[in-house]
Structure 1
Amino acid sequence: MISSLVVNFTIGELEERLMLSGLHTVADIFCCCCGQIVGWKYESAHERNQKYKEGKFVLERGRIVDEMDFSTEFRIESCVSMSDAENA
């Protein structure tokens, strides 16, 4: 899933990554609650036809919980990332 808005995450170091669509500068994004990688953010695309991805997030469906068991108590803390603060 590609999105312009993602909340409750922290962002990792920028790195060059060769994807199927070409070379991109990306940063992994991590869940604020569990610290696991949930996807990545496109910082820049090196090919003109891929520029539309810049600033967008990719969330990997397999890394995100689809259902929660509400029969047990849990606590979720939110955190503000650099991107959240820029949009405020």
Structure 2
Amino acid sequence: MGELLGPRLYSCCNCRNHVCLHDDVISKAFQGRHGRAFLFSHALNIVVGAKEDRQLMTGLHTVADIYCRDCHEVLGWKYERAYEETQKYKEVMYEAGGHSYS
């Protein structure tokens, strides 16, 4: 078995730009716009769009879409504010769909 060199990374599926480290993944059990999504604590090489209120399955949130810095692929969104007390843990975290990165 070969030795793993460097950290495990998630990358944009369009251009392979590094998006987050495996250790930053909080949960793989989220539901995004197009299916399964991941919640993660930090993001790399992204651009954060404008904030907007969005009604999600878990209630009203203020979110900002996140894009790959290199190819501008929409990866998911950043939670800016959660209005439901039970959802506050998501604030300043990121959610991205599995189709957006690998």
- TM-score, scaled to structure 2: 0.62
Counterpart-to-counterpart distance in 2, 1:55 and 1:4: 8
Query: In percent, how many aligned pairs have the same letter?
Result: 42
Query: Per-residue deviation at 1:56?
Result: 0.5
Aligned to 2:91: 54
Deviations 1:12-66 (A, max 9, x none): 00000000000000000000110011010000001111100001001111112x3
Q: 1:43 aligns with which of 73, 80, 101?
A: 80
In the aligned structure 2, how far is the partner of 1:5 from the partner of 1:46? Answer: 21
Q: Which has the higher strand share?
A: 2
Considering fraction of residues, name the structure with more helix.
1
Equivalences for 1:1-88 in 2 at 5 Å?
1-64=38-101, 66=102
Q: Which runs of 4+ in 1 moved over 6 A?
A: none
Q: Provide the secondary structure at the position in 2 that maps to 1:28.
A: strand
Larger radius of gyration between Structure 1 and Structure 2: 1
Q: How many residues align?
A: 65
Which AA in structure 2 matches 1:53? Answer: K
SS at 2:87 equivalent? helix
**Unmatched 5+ residue regions in structure 2?**
1-37
